[in-house]
Amino acid sequence: MFPIRSRFSIKKAFYIILGILFIFSLHQNGVFHAPGRFLIPEDDQYADDEVYHQNSQDFRYSVQRKSHCKPKEKVVFLKTHKTASSTAVSIIERYGFNRNFTFALSNSALKFYHAPLFSRSMVHELSDSAIGWKKADGYHMLTNHARFNKAEMDDVVHNATYFTIVRNPVDQLESAFGYFGLGKSMGFKKNDQLEEFMKDPKKHFGSVKKGYWQFAKNNQLFDLGLDHKYHDDSDVVTDTIHKLDHDFDLVMVSEYFDESVILLRRLLCWDIEDVLYISKAIRSKSHRLQMDVNLREKIQAWNKADVQLYQHFNKTLWRKIKEYGPTFQRDLDYYRTRLGEVAEECIDLSQKNSRDVREVKYVLRKGAPHYCQELLWGDVEYTRFIQRRMWDRGILLPHPKAQG
């Protein structure tokens, strides 16, 4: 018969051996270190901050976040024209809509005026609400089209994170020219209206000041607050770009949209599921204009201020990607995997939505979950829903009229 002390020692040793065997079996079965099962970012801000977990039943990922950083709620997105901004803004509006955030909305339409600089006087009349929202607290978000005016926007959304998006100026002008019918407003009859305009752009620009004529030259820098009369002054353009670099926390680049979203997601401290998207406002082939090398070079020369803007923030984007750290490519690959899963689950590619011949709009797959519908909503739909909800909550007064 063993002494009592010996019995306890043997029992303790038995449990230790069992524990070692259990841990060894976990390693053998790939629970630790298995790619795609548990991945923990190794960079400074997010170390031990997230767990990417693949469910063994449906192979869909979810993201669980610990509170090492606080999600940003105050956001200003400067929505530039024809730059994939409709897709970007739907990410922000979905996030805010699902959290009952308060949006700064136009007092006259579904967007702010595209010609004058933004002013707080353009924002819809508000009132303190019985639910506890105070007008003096400002808004959570400003996302509709508006010309950049930092001081006025700061008065509307306090302590906001600012970001915007730019696009290759040649492709941006071609897109705007076709989408907004700029050639038609200038009286061009031919199919090659952009080429006709570029034969003598100084003559044609501003010859007919109606519609969106301002978009025919350096549209992006114009959206970002610099009037056309300064666009040929290289010193003013350079100073403006440097100021924009200071004013914006991030400038996305359309050609590297997913890469930009990865940076945005970290900047805002949001989850991967918060920044999923389905592309919006994709132009139909009938509204795409043909451009040869010669025409592209002419557009570059005409839009030289936008070219300088684009080149600056393209370099800035890649510097930020380098600063992100070694996990960037892995995070990007994972994000694109989720986007592919979302597209397969949500979109019926056999159907077409032909309500607007200028754009390709996806059709919701029959039986798709509700979040798919939210991913398909665009800026117009979200603005209407947000407007209605703010009125119902007693924030917007008077009752907003139905907008077209």
With respect to residue 172, please indicate whether it lies within any of the assigned structural domains. Answer: yes
Q: Strands across the sheet with 250-253, in order?
A: 141-142, 75-78, 161-166, 250-253
In this predicted structure, what is the pLDDT of residue 190? 74
93 and 49 in one domain? no
Give the domain CATH number at 240.
Answer: 3.40.50
For residues 336 and 234, membership in a common domain is answered with yes
163 close to 264: Cβ distance less than 8 angstroms: yes
CA distance 321 to 44: 14
- What is the model's pLDDT at position 392? 85
Q: Within this chain, do residues 51 and 147 fall inside the same structural domain, yes or no?
A: no
Each residue of 13-26: b (16+ CB within 10 Å) or e? eeeeeeeeeeeeee
Please report the pLDDT score of residue 335 as a whole number: 98
For 189, 195, 220, 301, 307, the CA distances from 200, given in Å and listed in that order, are: 16, 9, 21, 12, 19
7 in a domain, yes or no? yes
- Tell me the pTM: 0.80
Residue 164 is assigned to a structural domain of this protein: yes
According to DSSP, the residues that pair with 48 across neighbouring strands are: none
Q: Which helix (H) or strand (E) holds 372?
A: helix 370-376
Contact present, 236 and 226 (Cβ < 8 Å): yes
Give bridge partners of residue 283 from the DSSP assignment: 359
- Residues 277, 167: one domain? yes
Does the residue 375 lie in any domain? no
Pick left, alpha or beta for residue 84 (phi over 0 → left; psi -120 to 50 → alpha; otherwise beta). Answer: left
Residues 124 and 40 in one domain: no
Task: Specify whether 208 is located in the same domain as 245.
Answer: yes
90 with 21, same domain: the answer is no
Query: How many CB atoms are closer than 10 A to CB 290?
Result: 10
Torsion of CA 336, 341, 343, 349, to 10 degrees: 130
Specify whether 87 is located in the same domain as 172. Answer: yes
> Looking at the structure, do residues 42 and 99 belong to the same domain, yes or no?
no
Per-residue pLDDT of the chain (404 residues), as tens digits, is: 444 444 445 655 555 555 555 444 444 433 333 332 222 233 333 333 333 333 333 333 334 444 589 999 999 999 999 999 999 999 999 999 999 999 999 987 778 888 899 999 999 877 776 666 777 788 999 999 999 999 999 999 999 999 999 999 999 999 999 889 898 888 887 778 899 999 999 999 988 788 899 999 999 999 999 999 999 999 999 999 999 999 999 999 999 999 999 999 999 999 999 999 998 756 656 566 778 999 999 999 999 999 999 999 999 999 999 999 999 999 999 999 999 999 999 999 877 665 555 566 788 999 999 999 999 999 999 999 999 998 888 887 665 454 44
**Same-domain check for residues 40 and 76:** no
> Residue 50: which domain range?
35-61
Residue 349 counted as domain residue: no
The answer to whether residue 252 is domain-embedded is: yes
Count structural domains, the chain: 3
Pair (120, 19) in one structural domain: no
Residue 348: inside a domain:
no
86: nearest Cα among 393, 356, 340: 356
Instruction: Please indicate, yes or no, whether residues 99 and 246 belong to a single structural domain of this protein.
Output: yes
The pLDDT value given to residue 147: 97
Is residue 400 included in any domain, yes or no? no
